[in-house]
Structure 1
């Protein structure tokens, strides 16, 4: 039986970079985007594991593909279809492979969405962030709520029945009421999946220049001037869980909610340690316990530099740590049997002191052969996961 493999394709282009974004993304000409598509296809044809040979892929089947960015829907639909066809030519695909693409409102009309469907894309992830036009403008988004509605309706019209909507809370000036209004508006659309993240003020972004000191003020327990205070952010977090659960979307990961059977298989694969290959500028890969990434220099990439950068062979210690703190992101937690099969030792012995303490504090629980965060543990997940770093 073939083993599972996931593919990630990075499309770094945007119409305009958002004020909070620190991802590898930028705007550029149509000519460069076309050249990038051709380079990407060449990279796929030449793909091989870092330090390995192309034949190493023969025992794998692709179970998920994710086009991320940037804004992948900036590319013409025919270019996305051509990239996907190159992947199908190079790799063995599972018949039920989940194939996702990120899409921003205003960058994908009905014809483009129809071409996505025809090429085999079966999951759409729409970057809304907020249903409030004022908040969208402040974020630097290029769309309005009305633009989102048109894109969403077009996606439904062409047959997409697995749609995620990205949302962002704790925005500057955002109130509990405006956040709840966003949730109510989005839930009325009846999406299969919602990703709801709190804004993180990242260094090197316009938001850091504008709100970095305010973020530091909040971290010290002081009252921020522009950002919601800690209590308001906590209330947003709790209300998100309540409203989404009431609408039939269960929380299967710290920030992700889905109807039964619509969890993002690609992201679950990351958290469960499934090997993945990344294609495109700056894309990361993890295969055969080796991690690497591609160049972030666009000109070098266009010239054919697809070499592995900063190759790292993970030690067993690092593999164990990742198994725990990635697996614990999921509501189902980690399997004790899976831990033993992979590492030949019992998780209860490896983390005896940590588990005893976290169980006593009510942050972890053991059930049905699994270890998982309690609801309170989910709220304090960063603190809990830090405990699983081995000496």
Structure 2
């Protein structure tokens, strides 16, 4: 019998300093906290021995936070534990997020030796002024040193993260970031638009309440801070990203992701295609299939609590829920349509036992008529207009 694929996500909740826009679960570690956390991670990994024997791990992703605050030896210990207690595909993709300036060349060589075969480096901008605005701990030269060190360490699959719609950013400065990065020839680029999240320093400056205050106090307050790009500028940045990266041979395969042929991120593709995933570490989320049913849950969000119960995962679980058929169908639609190739009618029928038209026929016809989707013999995908209005499109399936 063919084994089901399983993805692993490991959360490393530590940062040198939290960025001004970040709402991820992370903090600056106290003395000895990283060592205790790594020990707990190994305990959690060992606790799953024999539980997922019917699954084959196809991808591993170390996210954060800043996973590159771990030493190469700590990374090796964690991966050794995974190889011992899980069935790992020979060609598994093993990704590690890395912040510029947090890993020496020796660290990078050690990560590669430990088994990491893909890096995701958080650059965000080539302009030091924009990096300072975001609260990043590095400048562009530091990124360049890290990137070159990764190449020298033998990494042949590197993603670079960039952020558009930064306060004070222009279409021209965004395009300069794109051209500078593609000149380095990474295999993959992720280009995300800045989202102002509640609970972040940026929200205090640019959030809804601040916008209301601006309307009262007028131009003077707006002049005291860098302005967010307009909706029109943000749209132009997205269009230029698509056009410029295509010129350099990068294929857009998802709304915010571009890759050279064969270098699409397998872990993220699995997420959009609803491959089951097991989250390890504090705050990590999971989507697990058991006895033909699906369940979703997340872990405790306090590091002390995680360390205390890491060896007994059932005590880590919070907000477990069965993912009922209707929710599975909705996720199949709005996650699958994020991919440029879209979704397959035959795959929908295979999974859910009915033609897609039986559930979404009227919506599909309407969206095709509005030029938001294209419907082929089997595939349904977003048009360029549909990508621009993707949130509106997805909402129709909920």
Same fold (TM over 0.5): yes
Secondary structure of the corresponding residue to residue 53 of structure 2 = helix
Structure 1 position 254, deviation (Å):
0.3
In the alignment, the residues of structure 1 paired with residue 50 and residue 397 of structure 2 have an alpha-carbon distance, to the nearest angstrom, of 36
**Contact in 2 for aligned 1:73/1:104 (Cα 8 Å):** yes
Q: 1:58 aligns with which of 38, 53, 60?
A: 53
In the alignment, the residues of structure 2 paired with residue 40 and residue 244 of structure 1 have an alpha-carbon distance, to the nearest angstrom, of 38
Aligned to 2:298: 293
Q: 2:390 aligns with which of 371, 381, 389?
A: 381
In the TM superposition, 1:111-126 aligns within 5 A as: 111-126=106-121
User: 223-232 or 317-326, which moves further after superposition?
Assistant: 223-232
In the alignment, the residues of structure 1 paired with residue 346 and residue 51 of structure 2 have an alpha-carbon distance, to the nearest angstrom, of 27
In the alignment, the residues of structure 1 paired with residue 206 and residue 88 of structure 2 have an alpha-carbon distance, to the nearest angstrom, of 45
User: 207-216 or 320-329, which moves further after superposition?
Assistant: 207-216
In the alignment, the residues of structure 2 paired with residue 259 and residue 214 of structure 1 have an alpha-carbon distance, to the nearest angstrom, of 42
Aligned to 1:244: 245
Structure 1 position 275, deviation (Å):
0.2
Aligned to 1:15: 16
Aligned to 1:44: 45
Secondary structure of the corresponding residue to residue 57 of structure 2 = strand
Secondary structure of the corresponding residue to residue 37 of structure 1 = helix
Structure 1 position 184, deviation (Å):
1.1
In the alignment, the residues of structure 2 paired with residue 314 and residue 303 of structure 1 have an alpha-carbon distance, to the nearest angstrom, of 29
**Contact in 1 for aligned 2:50/2:85 (Cα 8 Å):** no
Structure 2 residue runs without a partner (length 5+): none
**Contact in 1 for aligned 2:166/2:229 (Cα 8 Å):** yes
In the alignment, the residues of structure 1 paired with residue 169 and residue 46 of structure 2 have an alpha-carbon distance, to the nearest angstrom, of 47
**Contact in 1 for aligned 2:159/2:186 (Cα 8 Å):** yes
Aligned to 1:32: 33
Cα distance change on mapping 1:187 and 1:33 into 2, 3 Å:
same
Q: What is the CA deviation profile of residues 100-130 of structure 1, one whole-angstrom value per residue up to 9, with x for unaligned ones? A: 0000000011111111111111100000000
Structure 1 position 368, deviation (Å):
4.2
Q: Does 1:84 align with 2:79?
A: yes
Secondary structure of the corresponding residue to residue 362 of structure 1 = coil
In the alignment, the residues of structure 1 paired with residue 43 and residue 275 of structure 2 have an alpha-carbon distance, to the nearest angstrom, of 25
Q: Does 1:362 align with 2:367?
A: no
Structure 1 position 29, deviation (Å):
2.4
Secondary structure of the corresponding residue to residue 240 of structure 2 = helix
Structure 1 position 381, deviation (Å):
0.5
Q: Does 1:342 align with 2:351?
A: yes
Structure 1 position 216, deviation (Å):
5.0
Q: Does 1:179 align with 2:184?
A: no
Aligned to 2:257: 256
**Contact in 2 for aligned 1:8/1:277 (Cα 8 Å):** yes
Secondary structure of the corresponding residue to residue 358 of structure 1 = helix
Secondary structure of the corresponding residue to residue 10 of structure 1 = strand
In the alignment, the residues of structure 1 paired with residue 123 and residue 298 of structure 2 have an alpha-carbon distance, to the nearest angstrom, of 28
Instruction: State TM-score, norm by structure 2.
Output: 0.93
Instruction: State TM-score, norm by structure 1.
Output: 0.94
Secondary structure of the corresponding residue to residue 9 of structure 1 = strand
Q: Does 1:310 align with 2:310?
A: no
Structure 1 residue runs without a partner (length 5+): 48-53
- How many pairs align? 380
Q: Does 1:371 align with 2:380?
A: yes
User: 28-37 or 278-287, which moves further after superposition?
Assistant: 28-37
Q: What is the CA deviation profile of residues 349-383 of structure 1, one whole-angstrom value per residue up to 9, with x for unaligned ones? A: 11011011011111111124111111111111100
Cα distance change on mapping 1:40 and 1:153 into 2, 3 Å:
same
**Contact in 2 for aligned 1:214/1:227 (Cα 8 Å):** no
Cα distance change on mapping 1:135 and 1:214 into 2, 3 Å:
farther
Aligned to 2:96: 101
Cα distance change on mapping 1:295 and 1:255 into 2, 3 Å:
same
**Contact in 1 for aligned 2:250/2:258 (Cα 8 Å):** yes
Aligned to 1:163: 158
Structure 1 position 30, deviation (Å):
4.2
User: 252-261 or 362-371, which moves further after superposition?
Assistant: 362-371
Structure 1 position 213, deviation (Å):
4.0
**Contact in 2 for aligned 1:8/1:276 (Cα 8 Å):** yes
